[in-house]
Amino acid sequence: MESGGGKHFILVHGLAHGAWCWYKVVARLRAAGHRATALDMAASGVHPARLHEVASFEDYSRPLLDAVAAAPDGDRLVLVGHSLGGLSVALAMERFPGKVAAAVFLAASMPRVGSHMGVTIEEFKRAIKPDFFMDSTTTVLNTEQGPQTALLLGPNLLASKLYDQCPAEDLELGKLLIRPGFQFMDDPTMKDETLLTHANFGSVKRVFVIAKADTSNTEEMQRQTVDLSPGTDVEEIAGADHMAMLSKPTEVCEVLVRIADRRRSQTLRTLRQREAMEVGGGGKHFVLVHGLCLGAWSWYKVATALESAGHRVTALDLAASGAHPARLHEVRSFEDYSRPLLDAVAAAPDGDRLVLVGHSHGGASLALAMERFPRKVAAAVFVDAALPWVGKHIGVGTEAFMKKAASKGLLMDCQMVPITGTGIGTGSEDAGGQQGTAIVMGPKFLQKCYKESPAEDVTLAKQLVRPGNQFMDDPVMKDEALLTAANYGSIKKVFVVAKAAHGSSTSTEEVQRWIEATNPGTEVQEIAGADHAVMNSKPRELCDVLVGVARRYD
């Protein structure tokens, strides 16, 4: 792993397969500190589309095209295509050459400038015997572009020609998960001889990885593909069958990292030149953390404003929040709850100094990340948030608020519900007993929190809030020695006061005195007319505050 952080690999499967076939390689790349995104092309893997709904090769490749388009310009990608996936990679290279550091073709179709992309499939079909596909079957499906022939790979073909060097478990996995697929031979995109250009596709570094034990796309056939594309680098993996990512995952991972490292110097030079041309050194990277019961969705306005201004934004769902798949009873600790933030900060390159932004209870997760990774954080912004201090446990702010809320009825129609081993609200007699207490925010309470926000945002919140756990009895939340002056205390902190248009229950002066007593040196910013959901009631003003903070404390 290079000192500037890990690479970002995007992995594209072959015909009839899915993202699942990369599971061994993804695990190894991530363990080595790199980012790995394995994608399902349309109607493949667990992608929800049905095959007859995928009318074109463009539609089929859309998940890849969208992923590359969405990647920040500085996040130069290593695209990896297996088998038919090489053609989707080629299309992405042509569309987004500036975002691709290198393209890797793993025993794959590799087209070339001056020929249509389908020529590689035509050459393959001419080279194989008539009975090559063995027990595979074909079906004609009606699509928007007319009838297309779908191919379903047979189990005998899989066993003898694709997975013949793989563990038996992976062959079984393949039999269970493959889906019928189109080769799109008559698709206009596949037939266009002017599609791939020297300026775009031809400008991206290409590496072909030969699977030397491949009995379907033989070594001889693979080398012929390379010979037709001068300037392509070559790597070899001995003992690898066609499914090299399953038969030789460690070797595939090592090859990919080696390829990415070869591009390091050129990539860093390009990024430094680009940064030098930008005023102020280029955009900042903001990591946005939601409050209790909310999710990354709560930042949609601020994220849009920051991205429009040229900055990078990562809005996270903490565990069992927003669209995060975990259920509340499965999240056993504050550490587990905060894991998406901790992992994101850990994965950030050392030079990519972050501005962490936490709203409400999200301030507690911010504090944990600051203590763990102080050198990766340029500044931390607490938006009307829990702001702990050195010498006290992280939960001190939340504890004080809950005591005040209970005595003054501030929680209104919120419900406190037991969390058990099987869910929430079913009582401690359920399996596992009570594991904590969840808060379920009521509509009246939300209305109060969003009292200055547009009605649409109140409705959105009511539809998307999930029960939340404050983890008040968690050991991490109770540890008064956890936050240290050397780590948490060393990071510049900014507190944003939400001052409602119709008066604030706590004056800015009172907040400032409290912060001076507990967190000396913390800067205080005020946003007039903001309710507790500052990101919804005053998104532009909050964006301006965040950009100002990033400039001052870069």
Q: Which residues are catalytic?
A: 83, 214, 242
Q: Report angle CA 409, 414, 419 to the nearest 5 degrees.
A: 125
Q: Which two tokens stand for residue 236?
A: 């070899």
Q: How far is CA 344 from the centre of its chain?
A: 9
Are 328 and 319 in contact by the 8 Å Cβ rule? The answer is no
CA dist 332 → 54, 403, 426 (Å):
41, 24, 17
The one-letter code for the residue type at 405 is A
Minimal CA–CA distance to 314: which of 272, 351, 350, 347? 347
| Inter-CA distances, 12 with 38, 41, 100, 409, 497, Å | 6, 8, 14, 54, 46
DSSP 8-state code for residue 315: E
Angle between helices 23-31 and 249-262 (to 10 degrees): 50
| Spatial distance between the Cα atoms of 467 and 13, rounded to a whole number of angstroms | 37
Give 104's strand partners: 80, 207
- The string of DSSP letters for 358-425 reads EETTHHHHHHHHHHH-GGGEEEEEEES-----TTS-TTHHHHHHHHHHHHHTTTTT-EEEEEETTEES
Which sign does the torsion angle of CA 547, 552, 553, 554 carry? Answer: positive
SS3 355: strand
Q: Which of 147, 151, 185 is nearest to 52 (CA)?
A: 147
